[in-house]
Amino acid sequence: MIDPGNGIVHRGCLIPLDLWYDVPRDVWLRPEADGSLVLGMTDVAQTRAGKVLHILFKKIGRRIEAGQSAATIETAKWAGPFPTPVGGTVVATNSDAFDADILVANRDPYELGWLIRLEPDAWDPGAIGLVTGSTAIAHYEHRIEALGVSCVRCAD
């Protein structure tokens, strides 16, 4: 059982309350004290993609436009981008954690398994359709039902 902590679990999918979400892209964002943003795959995203086999990050210092891919992910059966909802400059990647455990995002998508840290061009989450708190929960419950997906920690 997943401990919901400060979030909720819907059909096995953990949705922390304190993060921001791009729900259609299944990306979470966490503003840091220094103004940067940490981004990662949601529980729904890691479930849909399956076990990560390889990840290739955009280089530190690289500028990425909103909607562009900040990393390419290959899972056992699928390959695809990790799109950023916010434009900015890559200031860190979690490559060390993925080097040590390639399944880190499958095991722990919201903490140890973060993907990338960006210095955003701007941070106005509401203006670009990001949601948080109870609004995010409502959006995700609807999305999870619409997708018919039940989350599994693919690494377990």
State the residues that interact with other proteins by CB under 8 A: 47-51, 53-54, 56, 72, 74-81, 147-149
Closer CB to other proteins, residue 5 or residue 24?
A: 24
Shortest Cβ 6–other proteins spacing (Å): 26
CB of 65 to other proteins, least distance (A): 13
Structure tokens at 64: 């990425």
- Residue closer to other proteins (CB basis): 32 or 65: 65
Smallest gap from residue 91 Cβ to other proteins (A): 21
Q: Which is nearer to other proteins, 18 or 99 (CB)?
A: 99
By beta-carbon proximity to other proteins, the closer residue of 101 and 119 is: 101
Least CB distance to other proteins at residue 77 (A) = 5
DSSP the chain: ----TTEEEETTEEEETTSEEETTTTEEEEE-TTS-EEEEE-HHHHHHH-SEEEEEEPPTT-EE-TTSEEEEEEESS-EEEEE-SS-EEEEEE-HHHHHH-TTHHHH-TTTTT--EEEEES---GGGGT-EEHHHHHHHHHHHHHHHT-----TT-
Q: Tell me how far, at minimum, the Cβ of 32 lies from other proteins, in Å.
A: 27
Burial 13-30 (b: 16+ CB within 10 A, else e): bbbbeebbbbbebbbbbb
* Pick 74 or 119: Cβ nearer other proteins: 74
